[in-house]
Structure 1
Amino acid sequence: MSVPDLFFSVGEPSGDLHAARVMQHLPASTRSSCRGFGGPQMAAQGCTIDYPLTQLAVVGFAEVLPKLREFVRVADMASDIFERWPPAGVVLVDFPGFNWHIAKRARQAGIPVLYYLPPQLWAWGGWRIKKMRKYVDHVLCALPIEYEWYAEHGMSCQYIGHPFFDSVAHQQLDAAFLRAWSAADDLLVAVLPGSRSREIRTIWPLQLEVIRELAARHRRVTFLVACLNQQHLDHCKSLLKPSDPSERIKFYANRTSEIIEVADCGLMKSGSVSLEMMARGTPSVVMYHVSRSTYEFARRVVHVGWMTLPNLIAGTTVMPEFLAVGKQCGPTIERTIAAMDRLLGDREERTLRKLELARLTRRFGQPGASARAAQAICQQFGIAHATALSTAPGLQTA
């Protein structure tokens, strides 16, 4: 009997990486027979990419509309594949706006579906659970709150941990950079303005206001700004004024992990990188910004008390987070300054925060999620796997 094929549908660059890490742990014969929609990381693992879906990554309704016809064409391509070469199973990774359509077409073709890194229905849009039950057979959950919600709503699911911690564990850091900044006399603040250009345009000006005030209050502090690439770095640097303490604001591209590792504390935009802050034990304060219309909509549909992942995991505030709405940013800036001021001015406060993050990491931040995901996929689709499905501390199945 031939090795069953797996079809992956992955629409985000981060999902491409997570799917590729899962593939590394699949049996070699299964890995070589994988196909689907994804990106270069999956292709590097031997997956046949039927369409480079990560190139269509979009955020928000306005970005979807111009590409709607192409999304429909790609979904039709999946239907053709399912009819002509039906795989043993379909694995969806994040990207729910499009992947719902892939799940529906797989169901119509009688192909079982597993969702890895599923939509955050527990945070908002809980009514979509009906769609999940209808089209998805099994869910692999990255967060404990996610597992609890899906289990309570009758989904077959497993909590396997977050694959971001695999990335942290395997990250090779620049030793020269670490040595140079570890010897610094100043306190070091990691500043993370985000990875998307739109985020940087809204968050970096707010962070810069915070930096200016903190620099005036704390003379022995250096700010290390972690930019995704040179384009982002140039934009951030262009907003500095002649009066800014530029000698204490250092910009780097592609050094985010190194900056988090050496920093005494951090000022960041909300996002999955907060898990790296947690894993590396860097106490942080989080800022995020939404438009007034988004805020009014979110008030009615969002059902969680935090947006930052470590806070959601802990069920309490371990990283203070502050929301700016529309043009009303002054109060958010002031609250962020106050929270950062406490971290910079009180070593005991920093130590307590580090201990909280270390406790969370020991319980929820252990690597191995990618291997567990691969084992669960093989188990779900009847593929022989050399390793029995492991159960790490705190991991559960429903």
Structure 2
Amino acid sequence: MNKPASRIAIISGELSGDSYAVDVVEQLKSVMPNALFEGISGQRTQAAGLKQWSNCQPKAVMALTQVISNIVHFRRLLDTIKQNLTQCPPDLLILIDYGGLNLRVARIASECRIPVLYFIPPKVWAWGQWRLKKIKRYVKWVAPIYPFESDFFKRHAIESFLIQHPFIEKIRCINPSSQHSGTQHRIALLPGSREQEIRHVLPIMLKSVYLIVQNNPNYQIDVICAEPSKLALIEQITDHWSECIPLSVVTENKLAHLKSCRAALVCSGTASFECAMLTVPMVIVYRANWINYCIGKLLFRAKWFGLPNLILNCLAVPELLQHHCQPKHICNSMIQLLKDGVHRQRQLSHLERLAQQMTERDDCMPIGEVVTKILTHS
């Protein structure tokens, strides 16, 4: 008698979570073609074959003030998830990122005796270590994508699979954009995928590159739009700068464009890792409203803010945060990277070392292989 098809529930949030969820579905479909996928994720995951539980989508929120203002939305979302998990429990629940919601979901799943794999687990190494108790109680396995995270969870006696970062496969087939004859005259701006990030950071980025192009008019500015839904906002902010800065908004072949750039200004996050793996020198910038910044400063325990610095455990990439995130400071740091010299060469050496660390670990596994292993032995 044939074994029934495995039912796998996936819950992810915002753009990066949707991207990781797509990788899970596509990898599993290649080895488990009869598997059924359901849950809550973004449009790309739904297009890949996930049956959506509800039209109630997760929202991209980072700060405490944003969480409070969206509390009704999260309550409805949690009720929808609980109803589906209790009425028809899946064989495995995969949670992706989005700790504020997903740790509550993990508790519900635990009460329903549903095994939980947490892919991209909460950043408890940086803040909120009290959440470790919840992870130990409600989550059976964690699957981080950075070596320092996996080492952290193992030190706390949590079963951890180090996952091969999905971006590593993508960069193998990336070539610099054929539209550009060289890399020396292009600067990338990556203002993030969240609305509040873009509103706070992109105007400062534009003021900074304005200072650069005043003395270096040959530079072309590429503003990378991470998510189609944010294109209108980015165009609104960049519109009145187009007369004094030679800029374009990039919506397609984004990684190829990025690889073609001499340097980048990056809102800290996944984009800083992508720049590092493409060996594009960068300056990390970030600014939030002061209430959220002060709360975050009290909670955040990690020494560094940007992913490249966390992975390498040193200040490999300049970080200009909050009151240091000023156009004059940013301009000075960028000029050091744009010209050939010790600052540029030092960062390139760091980024090459990071790429080596991320690609040469023997204990890395694809997420599809981990899920298959779990389902086979459960």
TM-score normalised according to structure 2 size: 0.87
Match in the other structure for 1:238: 239
What amino acid does structure 2 have at the position aligned with 1:24? E
Deviation at 1:341, TM superposition (A): 1.6
Contact 1:31 1:46 in 2 (8 A): no
2:179 partner letter = A
Matches within 5 A, 1:171-186: 178-183=177-182
Q: Which piece of structure 1 moves more, 280-289 or 5-14?
A: 5-14
Identify which of 53, 66, 71 aligns with 1:68: 71
Specify the code of the residue in structure 1 equivalent to 2:254. Answer: T
Q: Which residue of 2 aligns with 1:153?
A: 156
| Structure 1 Cα separation of the partners of residues 43 and 206 of structure 2 | 35
Query: In the aligned structure 2, how far is the partner of 1:233 from the partner of 1:73?
Result: 30
SS in 2 for 1:215: helix
1:321 is matched with which residue: 314, 319, 322?
319
Q: Give 3-state SS (helix, strand or coil) of 1:179's partner.
A: coil
Q: 1:57 to 1:241 in 2, by over 3 A?
A: closer
Q: Which residue of 2 aligns with 1:49?
A: 52
Residue 393 of structure 1 corresponds to: none
1:5 to 1, 4, 7: 7
Is the contact made by 1:310 and 1:318 (CA closer than 8 Å) also made in structure 2?
A: yes
Q: Which residue of 2 aligns with 1:380?
A: 374
CA distance in 2, matches of 1:38, 1:160: 20
Partner residue in 1 for 2:356 = 362
Deviations 1:221-264 (A, max 9, x none): 3332323454134223234286x3x3x33443445323211111
CA contact (8 A) 1:39 1:52 kept: no
- Normalized against structure 1, the TM-score is what? 0.83
Amino acid at match of 2:278: R
Structure 2 partner of 1:77:
80
Consecutive unaligned residues of structure 1, counting only runs of 5 or more, are 385-398
8 Å contact 2:164–2:365 — kept in the other structure?
A: no
Q: Indicate the SS of the match to 1:287.
A: strand
* Partner Cα separation in structure 1 for residue 56 and residue 254 of structure 2: 26
Tell me the amino acid that sits aligned with residue 180 of structure 1.
Q
Tell me, what secondary structure is at the counterpart of 2:28? coil
Q: In angstroms, what is the RMSD of aligned CA positions? A: 2.9
Shift of 1:353: 2.5
Instruction: Determine helix, strand or coil for the equivalent of 1:335.
Output: helix
Aligned counterparts of 2:126 and 2:349: Cα–Cα separation in 1:
27
SS at match of 2:235: helix
User: 1:6·1:30 contact (CA, 8 Å) conserved in 2?
Assistant: no
The count of residues paired between Structure 1 and Structure 2 equals 372
% same residue? 25
Change (3 A) 1:254 1:367: farther
Unaligned residue ranges in structure 2 (runs of 5+)? none
Once the two structures are overlaid, the 10-residue window that deviates more, 212-221 or 355-364, is 212-221
* 8 A contact 2:8–2:35 mirrored in 1: no
Secondary structure at the counterpart of residue 207 of structure 1: helix
- For residue 357 of structure 2, what is the amino acid of its counterpart? R
| One-letter identity of the residue aligned with 1:276 | E
- More off after superposition, 345-354 vs 34-43: 345-354
1:272 aligns with 2:305: no
> Which residue does 1:89 correspond to in 2?
92
Q: 1:311 to 1:203 in 2, by over 3 A?
A: same
